[in-house]
A and B are shown apart, each in its own frame.
Chain A
């Protein structure tokens, strides 16, 4: 039940955002997060964004994660 999926913020309208999840556009509540910006990556669970990563940080973290995987 605690499944969550990542997406990218396309638009912000008040407490809600339009999110790109692998090409699908979905409306999600953003009220659980501070300072969400267009381009941020967010983690979505049951219609709510539960965490965010600014675009650059997301790229950096995922890159680090990949490197860690490669280096073992």
Chain B
């Protein structure tokens, strides 16, 4: 442990003692933070009173089972190429089906890194419909919106997306309103905030009195952010502070947001474990809605219940730690995952399993 981290721990302890609460729960809502916290062993060096809980910060994990089924159904269509970020491919839908199983059965499913690659692929395969599975938070959406702008520019009419992108702040509101969770502060996502800036979190501080700190990804960043959250609690104030100051500007990236909202509009969205959250999804604006890949299915995509026994929903709300799920570690493992939190490398269950952070 570095000297500077030890110094911060020394400052954290007395503040912690002065606070009346028996337990102080801070939630991170970014999968990269979930990984950084578990990997670094930060939980072990903090005072016992501080409980770091992982929220719905992994976009793959919060994609509803209904959407996963819809994506899998699309891969059954003739003359279709499904393109996706790698994390999505192993997520089980209902009936334990997955894109990986479909791929093994011969469906044309390709992993890409940059959404524009899917537009290039559509140009080269004009006899096919190329569908990109649009999953991800504010950090990822500008690139997806850019791919649509690129397809419009090139008149690539056989490029579609499955719109399942989500925005984080409305989910944070839903989490704060759930008194069972009892969040005392948010470690806000660093790279989402590069795009959004600090403003979208202000309602949490101003309307709900919840301190927020936008954090970087090194162990020291996280320790400093926890210190700043504790100071706010101790001084009985709530505001949004930026710890990840080398990269996050208070106003965020305005151009990137303009590009998002040129293509998308807000809509209600279903989150796994959290249900419908108003204004938390992004759907294509009317003029681009012909690129909605879901329309290629002749049937409605039904909403499907969560997998029996899988407690990903409670894990995503921070209500239980992954090892508290009966399936964790024996029925559900990274090699044979039952729920999405075990599939994605940044899912809470997978992170706990990997770093034995029980």
**In the complex, A11 Cα to B249 Cα: how many Å?**
25
Q: Is the CB of B246 within 8 A of A62?
A: yes
A-B residue pairs, 10 tightest by C-beta:
A47-B114, A48-B143, A2-B139, A32-B256, A2-B191, A72-B7, A4-B191, A61-B246, A51-B194, A1-B59
Report the tally of A-B residue pairs with Cβ distances under 8 A: 96
Asked, given contacts A32-B146, A33-B255, whether A51 binds B114 with beta carbons under 8 Å apart, the answer is no
Closest B residue to A72 by CB, please name it.
B7
**In the complex, A47 Cα to B120 Cα: how many Å?**
14
Q: Does A3 contact B (CB under 8 A)?
A: yes
Using Cβ atoms and an 8 Å threshold, which residues of chain B touch A12? none
Task: Give chain A nearest CB distance to B180 CB in angstroms.
Answer: 27
**In the complex, A34 Cα to B256 Cα: how many Å?**
10
Mark B6-33 against chain A: 1 for CB-CB distance below 8 A, else 0. 0110010000000000000000001110
Q: Give me the interface of A with B, judged by CB distance under 8 Å.
A: 1-4, 29, 31-34, 43, 45-48, 50-51, 53, 58, 61-62, 65, 69-70, 72
Mark B227-260 against chain A: 1 for CB-CB distance below 8 A, else 0. 0000000000000000001110100010110010
Closest B residue to A57 by CB, please name it.
B246
Q: Is the interface of A mostly helix, strand, loop or mixed?
A: mixed
Q: Is the CB of A29 within 8 A of B32?
A: no
Using Cβ atoms and an 8 Å threshold, which residues of chain B touch A32? 142-143, 146, 253, 255-256, 259
Q: Is the CB of B7 within 8 A of A50?
A: no
Using Cβ atoms and an 8 Å threshold, which residues of chain B touch A53? 246-247
Q: Does B60 contact A (CB under 8 A)?
A: yes
Task: Give chain B nearest CB distance to A70 CB in angstroms.
Answer: 7
Find B247's partner among A29, A43, A47 (CB 8 Å cutoff): A43
Asked, given contacts A4-B194, A62-B246, whether A51 binds B253 with beta carbons under 8 Å apart, the answer is yes
Task: Give chain A nearest CB distance to B167 CB in angstroms.
Answer: 12
Find A69's partner among B31, B117, B192, B220 (CB 8 Å cutoff): B220
Candidate in B8, B116, B344 with the most chain A CB atoms within 10 angstroms: B116
